[in-house]
Amino acid sequence: MSNIGNYDERLKNFDWSISEKELGYKKGDVINIGWYCSDRICQMGKGNKMALIWEGLGGVEKKYTYNDVRLKSNTIGTFLRSLGIKNEDRVCLFMDKIPELYIGLLGILKIGAIAQPLFSAFGDDSLLVRLENAETSAIITQRKHLPKVRKIVEKMPFLKHIIIVDYDGKHPLRDKEVAFSMDEATPVEKFEIFPTKAESPSILHYTSGTTGQPKGVKHVHYSLISQYLTTKWVLDIQENDIYWCTADPGWVTGTSYGIIGAFSTGVTQCVLDSGFAAEAWYKFIEKNKVTMWYSAPTAIRSLMKAGDEIIKKYDLSSLRHLASVGEPLNAEAVVWSEKVFGKQFHDSYWQTETGSIMISNYPGMKIKPGSMGKPFPGITATIIDPETYEPIKEEGKVGLIAIKPGWPSMMRTYWNNEETYKNKFKNGWYLPGDRSTIDKDGYFWFIGRDDDIINTGGHLVSPFEVESALLEHEAVAESAVVSKPDDVNMEVVKAFVTLKPGFTASADLDLNIMNFIRKKLSPLAMPQEIEFIDTLPKTRSGKIMRRILHAKEWGEEIGDISSLEND
């Protein structure tokens, strides 16, 4: 029997107090995610239970019990306090998927500071813009990422500490730099947790925007109420599960379900920090006897590409429940997973701003391959007309996905950007910015983004951010960035570039510009194709018409071009 039981029964008289009761929380109590994810599990008598099984390159393995997680997060919290870091200071986690990232986040939350996880592949420019916006007090990082931090440290007077978790003593530390070893530090048994309340800020996640800079999505400690229950009911986490969430905590899935959801339910989770390879993934599942696997459509399509024969080499019979997140899961992937694993991947829909799963396919519920499923109990979702913002009752008609505000993990604002936050709400609905249809059975079917954001492999890339970086290249005069179709990632970044006088299009220049973007922003933001053109399509007022370039890439109708310059 699944945790959610009968979906229709769960809808009746649902209340978030179900989650509060299970967690032992009452309105007005102290609620600290760090404590709930470690100390509480130990108080339940599970201190010796395995919390984290980590594997890095070359098969290096580390294991931590829940008591280890408690003590080490206490130790990290103590160290941060000794540096003068206090509640609501922003502390950035800029690391690969190493244990210090998972346990460090809890340590930051325990002292009431705000955790700011950032993807370790970000280049110095992407890092700087996010640290500047948050006025981050400290950054926890590794030696390998230190050069990027050092490159921008002079531009960040607000940054007081650079904490290196794997300092080897070979080179002298510079100004603001300090070494800290989680595994070598003396464990701290007794630790006074900062008494955060429901609305105390917890995590600051950055997400891309169509225009302007990335936006800092502010979450609060009460988000645990949603994250805990969705982990139990959607991912069907059970007492003896071995859980693997493949997402990087630099993205919201990796924190909401790779840290908070996992540890708050007291499950044993595995982390593989060695990149993607089909054989390595199957070997990891077999070795750890993974039972619940939460992954992304891009990874699933890559596994499909690797073929079915490779799967026969491994015993994957431990798998009990599979789920997917990040972008639409195509029907073929659902059919394929049932064929090769004997289990269907259950697609789930949500985003950084929602903090937890909003719409999903649930254990025991009939899956319609290609559908996002139905709203989570307690979530009121529909589609609305983009002009009137009124619900659409006509079956099969495309509208904007709309969600009634008020669930526990909803973002509380965009950091220093209240106006943009308010614009996400229309006529009493929160608008995620996606289009969908709803069929007669209440299943949602994703159609696409309602803006220019590029969703490549489940990661959102801002065309504006890439265009801004392109203009810093010495050869680029103008640029326009759109998505183009891709078999594995669904869509990838393509850049249209006009060159300055004295520069000529060539394969070498193409590669040079790509690497320039990769280093400044990230490998995900790097254009997979650059097309050099003489002029970009513009309106008479000078605005670049990206939709014309986008339509050509996707074979769509170009539509009205009456405002096109020189038409």
**Domain 454-554 sits in which CATH superfamily?**
ANL, C-terminal domain (3.30.300.30)
Q: Give the Cα-Cα-Cα angle 281, 305, 342 (nearest 5 degrees).
A: 65
Task: Dump pLDDT digits (tens) for 456-468.
Answer: 887 878 787 888 7
Residue linked to tokens 């103008």: 478
According to the model, what pLDDT value does residue 350 have? 97
Q: What's the CA gap between 40 and 529, in Å, rounded?
A: 50
- Cβ atoms of 243 and 264 closer than 8 Å: no
Task: Dump pLDDT digits (tens) for 304-349.
Answer: 989 999 999 999 999 999 999 988 888 889 999 999 999 999 999 9
Q: What is the mean pLDDT of residues 4-20?
A: 95
- Confidence bin at 99 (pLDDT 50/70/90): very high
- The bridge status of strand 381-384 relative to strand 399-403 is antiparallel
According to the model, what pLDDT value does residue 368 have? 96
Tokens found for residue 22: 């299970």
Can you give the residue ranges of every domain in the chain? 7-436, 454-554
According to the model, what pLDDT value does residue 567 have? 42
According to the model, what pLDDT value does residue 551 have? 87
**CB within 8 A of 184, min separation 6: which ones?**
none
The residue among 203 and 559 whose pLDDT is bigger is: 203
How would DSSP label each residue in 450-505?
SSS-EEETTEEE-HHHHHHHHTTSTTEEEEEEEEEEETTTEEEEEEEEEEPTT---
According to the model, what pLDDT value does residue 467 have? 87
Confidence check: pLDDT of 531 > 90: yes
Residue linked to tokens 């959102």: 460
Burial of 233 (0-12, 13-18, 19+ CB in 10 A): buried
Confidence check: pLDDT of 32 > 70: yes
Confidence check: pLDDT of 263 > 70: yes
Our CA dihedral for 393, 395, 396, 401, rounded to 10 degrees, sits at 40
Residue type, 256: S
How many Cα atoms occupy the beta-carbon half-sphere of 355 within 13 Å? 29
The residue among 480 and 382 whose pLDDT is bigger is: 382
CA 297, 303, 307, 310 torsion-angle sign: negative
214: nearest Cα among 140, 126, 137, 148: 126
CA 385, 387, 388, 394 torsion-angle sign: negative
Q: What is the mean pLDDT of residues 351-366?
A: 97
According to the model, what pLDDT value does residue 544 have? 75
According to the model, what pLDDT value does residue 539 have? 62
Q: Give the Cα-Cα-Cα angle 437, 456, 370 (nearest 5 degrees).
A: 35
Tokens found for residue 181: 């070893």
Q: Which residues on adjacent β-strands are paired with residue 62?
A: 54
Tokens found for residue 326: 């990040």
Confidence check: pLDDT of 210 > 60: no
**CB within 8 A of 293, min separation 6: which ones?**
244, 246, 285, 319, 321, 322, 323
Name the least confident of 24-28, 256-260, 298-302, 516-520.
298-302
- Confidence bin at 555 (pLDDT 50/70/90): confident
According to the model, what pLDDT value does residue 562 have? 41
**CB within 8 A of 449, min separation 6: which ones?**
433, 434, 435, 455
According to the model, what pLDDT value does residue 219 have? 98
Task: Dump pLDDT digits (tens) for 537-553.
Answer: 876 555 677 878 988 89
- The bridge status of strand 90-94 relative to strand 138-141 is parallel
Confidence check: pLDDT of 566 > 60: no
Q: What's the CA gap between 440 and 448, in Å, rounded?
A: 20
Task: Compute the chain's Rg from CA coordinates.
Answer: 24
According to the model, what pLDDT value does residue 563 have? 41
Task: Dump pLDDT digits (tens) for 391-413.
Answer: 998 888 889 999 999 999 999 99
According to the model, what pLDDT value does residue 540 have? 56
- 326-351 in b/e form (b: 16+ CB < 10 A) is bbbbbeebbebbeebbeebbbbbbbb
Task: Dump pLDDT digits (tens) for 420-465.
Answer: 999 999 999 999 999 899 999 999 998 877 777 788 887 878 787 8
337 SS3 class: helix
Q: What is the mean pLDDT of residues 266-279?
A: 95
According to the model, what pLDDT value does residue 463 have? 82
Confidence check: pLDDT of 146 > 50: yes
- Cβ atoms of 204 and 118 closer than 8 Å: no
Q: Give the Cα-Cα-Cα angle 195, 233, 441 (nearest 5 degrees).
A: 130
- Confidence bin at 290 (pLDDT 50/70/90): very high
- Cβ atoms of 243 and 262 closer than 8 Å: yes
User: What distance, in Å, lies between the first and last C-alpha atoms of the chain?
Assistant: 64
185: nearest Cα among 239, 242, 125, 107: 107
Q: What is the mean pLDDT of residues 216-223?
A: 98
Task: Dump pLDDT digits (tens) for 45-93.
Answer: 999 999 999 999 999 999 999 999 999 999 999 999 999 999 999 999 9
Q: What is the mean pLDDT of residues 19-38?
A: 98
Task: Dump pLDDT digits (tens) for 167-207.
Answer: 999 999 999 999 999 999 999 999 999 999 999 999 999 99
Does 3.20.20.70 match the CATH number of domain 7-436?
A: no
